Amino acid sequence: MKNKCVFLDRDGVLNVERGEYTYKTDDFIIPEGVKEALENLKKAGYLLIVITNQAGIAKGIYTKNDVLACHSKLQNETSELIDDIFYCPHHPIKTESLARKPESLMFERAIAKYDIDASQSWMVGDSERDLVPCKKLGIKTIRVYREEGTETIGDHLVPSLFEASKIILK
């Protein structure tokens, strides 16, 4: 039997969007409700996989180790609930990549690695580029917004991951 999955963007969904690169663990703040949402999704049998662009690596703003330290903090503060984290270190100013959202390669790799049924899966992201590849792959989408009135191509629009989890579990 294939697995169902909730794909998660990182910045703006799992940690507070600061409006600039988040690569220091002191700046990596996990909002209230994130851990509870992940626990509820995990109890319902979903794989939890993060799909995130980390272009600051290609731009020389931060290192792979900075990213891994933030991911370690995320796992520690959420009781290791996340099954895997895929990140793309590329940016078009330095290197092109089909992995970088809005392309779909990171999703395709996760689907193959974990035998995921896209039709039973969801993506929770905070930008259009998070959702575009999911439309192509048949994954349902939820957009977390930062301000009211945000337009979206997503199937749903919510203020937080916790609210997104309620829709997924409905």
Catalytic residue numbers read 9, 11
Please give the Cα distance from 107 to 87 (Å, whole number). Answer: 10
Q: Is 83 annotated as a binding residue?
A: no
Is 115 annotated for ligand binding?
no
- Tell whether residue 5 is among the known ligand binding residues: no
Annotated binding-site residues read 9, 11, 88, 90, 126
Annotated binding-site residues for Zn(2+) read 88, 90
Annotated binding-site residues for Mg(2+) read 9, 11, 126
